[in-house]
Chain A
Amino acid sequence: MTETTKAPKTREPAPHTAAALALGDDALVLSHRLGEWAGHAPVLEEDVALANIALDLLGQARVLLSMAGDEDELAYLREERAFRNLQLVEQPNGDFAHTIARQLYFSTYQRLLYAHLAAGDGEFAGLAAKAVKEVVYHQDHAEQWTLRLGDGTDVSHERMRRACQALWRFTGEMFQPVEGLDVDWEGIRTAWLESVSAVLRRATLDVPEGPQSGAWSAGAGRQGLHTEPFGRMLAEMQHLHRSHPGASW
């Protein structure tokens, strides 16, 4: 942290900065949500697994935010409207099924996107090459749980069905182009839909219906328009840092 106590100015970021913020905020916010599970998981192995995924994501966030500026200034001193994460990752944990559905949707997206970026020679290739190894594990974890919950008991099937349905409207946003990334977004969407549909079918779940994008889908996180729970999450996350302007930790 630098000595400055001023909030970062809202200026138009350079394209690669915009992309670093978008990807960095996704990882930062989802990591925070997973951190909320610590000590609350259904079984000890999941306390370990969820913390592990949270740590991977936080590591990615730190690299990405550092590409855009000072990591702590960006994490702790921006207000809600300046965050560029997807609305999907800011959704509250809900029950374990909601957490898993959110993770399945996001990890599948992140794996496809990072594999694409790792294959290129852009600014994010290095980070993506390292991160994609972690994300493959996250996706596998989410898939394995989707199968167990979907194809477990009647209760778990119903909970998983509801979770997949509830979060579906947040998935369309993932395929909106991110400024500064040269990506075949339509290709990623097709691959994502194929991958997620295959897992859901194996889990005896229907692929949710309804708009994935369009007027009734959610998705303006990349423009800094978030859902209501996000402000409260940030209040908690930033409160201590903001209470001691200029301090080092």
Chain B
Amino acid sequence: MATAAHRITRTPEEDGPADEAALAVAYEAAFDAAVAADERIEPRDWMPDAYRATLVRQIAQHAHSEIIGMQPEANWITRAPSLRRKAILMAKVQDEAGHGLYLYSAAETLGTSRDELLDKLHSGRQKYSSIFNYPTLTWADVGAIGWLVDGAAITNQVPLCRCSYGPYARAMVRICKEESFHQRQGYELLLTLSRGTPEQHEMAQDAVNRWWWPSLMMFGPPDDQSQHSAQSMTWKIKRHSNDELRQRFVDICVPQVETLGLTLPDPDLRWNEERGHHDFGEIDWTEFREVLKGNGPCNEQRITQRRRAHDEGAWVREAAAAYAEKHAAKNGAKIGAKAGEAAA
């Protein structure tokens, strides 16, 4: 497909003799035109450094969230109360590792590497979603995560399927399909608990009470405090503001919680006829900032476990690399020998 962006794909041969300054202006204009025309930017296309940097930051953070997000759920794999639920949960955690892999690959198309990104995660230079710093204290939390956390993620991520950067948009299409499936399973888990014994119902309500506000925080700070929003929307990385998406999510959840036979822990939640939306209470932004700063209930635990898995696995990765090198050398020697025979 010949797009504005593709026409300005640069190759080293073309780069040399041209006037750098004039080229830069032309590149930028073509990039802006491609974004304005809703065309996809692809890895070999020219892009502003800041566009590249913001995408690396966002995709990496997204990838990190998938792999840190395995922990709160994996916490219940060994205690899942039925074999069917255990299989569903294992499959879900496996999908999350897979999502992490797609997203690291998408980030790598921007000229970074998975190792580099993991290193930034492990050293705290890159973040992951604040939600995974909350603990899973009961089995119902697995359902609440599926319904609320995956639900919020989907609300955030569906518009990303139309994001201007092609590799990210395509990764999101695959991820959103699987996330929707997880969300329905989480909802069904909560429904079963809610209609179960009084103890199970209470367990479900308690989980919703604990996960509701942190889920609303997943949409990020209010629009007037969101530092990356305006630029990301101009670049069509983002399509809707944080507050818009948060409102959409609340409006979706209210009828769902009624069907569940549960309630949301917000006394200010009510339908606003005039706005055509639900009004809801004030989010505790102090808590949000504390969690982001590393002071949430599980920040330390999550990153320590991730680092430990990585460090304790170092010898395995080294073994694989050493084996690959030895055998590449052997195969190379064989190919060399054959080539030598052929030449002789």
The residues of A with any CB-CB pair to B shorter than 8 Å are 1, 28, 32, 35-36, 38-48, 51-52, 54-55, 58-59, 61-62, 65, 71-72, 75-76, 95-96, 147-149, 151-153, 155-156, 159, 236-237, 239-241, 244, 246-249
Contacts and interface: CB of A to CB of B under 8 A. Distances in A.
B93 interface: yes
Given A239-B79, A240-B81, A44 B97 contact: yes
B94 A48 contact: yes
8 contacts: A32-B78, A42-B316, A51-B94, A58-B86, A59-B87, A62-B84, A155-B315, A156-B315
A51 B81 contact: no
B87 A248 contact: no
A71 B83 contact: yes
Nearest to B118: A44
B196 A248 contact: yes
B338 interface: no
B320 interface: yes
Given A47-B97, A156-B319, A38 B74 contact: yes
A148 B320 contact: yes
B83 A147 contact: no
Contacts of A46: 313, 316
A131 to B, nearest CB: 15
Given A38-B90, A39-B305, A241 B81 contact: yes
B82 A1 contact: yes
Main secondary structure, interface of A, reads: helix
Given A42-B309, A55-B91, A48 B316 contact: no
B213 interface: no
B199 to A, nearest CB: 6
Interface in B227-255: none
B58 interface: no
Contacts of B91: 51, 55
Nearest to B91: A55
Contacts of B319: 148-149, 152-153, 155-156
B323 interface: yes
A68 B109 CA distance: 51
Given A40-B305, A151-B323, A153-B322, A72 B94 contact: no
Interface of B: 67, 70-71, 74, 77-87, 90-91, 93-94, 97-98, 100-101, 104, 139, 192-193, 196-197, 199-200, 305, 308-310, 312-323, 326
A38 B70 contact: yes
A51 B101 contact: no
B83 A75 contact: yes
B67 A44 contact: yes
A152 B308 CA distance: 22
B102 to A, nearest CB: 11
Contacts of B67: 39, 44, 47
B330 to A, nearest CB: 11
Contact of A51 (B90, B309, B316): B90
Contact of A249 (B81, B104, B320, B323): B81
A237 B94 CA distance: 19
A156 B316 contact: yes
Contacts of B310: 42
Given A42-B312, A151-B326, A155-B315, A51 B78 contact: no
Contacts of A39: 67, 70-71, 74, 93, 305, 309
A35 B80 CA distance: 11
Among B101, B139, B305, B315: residue with most chain A CB under 10 A: B315
Among A47, A71, A147, A241: residue with most chain B CB under 10 A: A47
A217 B80 CA distance: 33
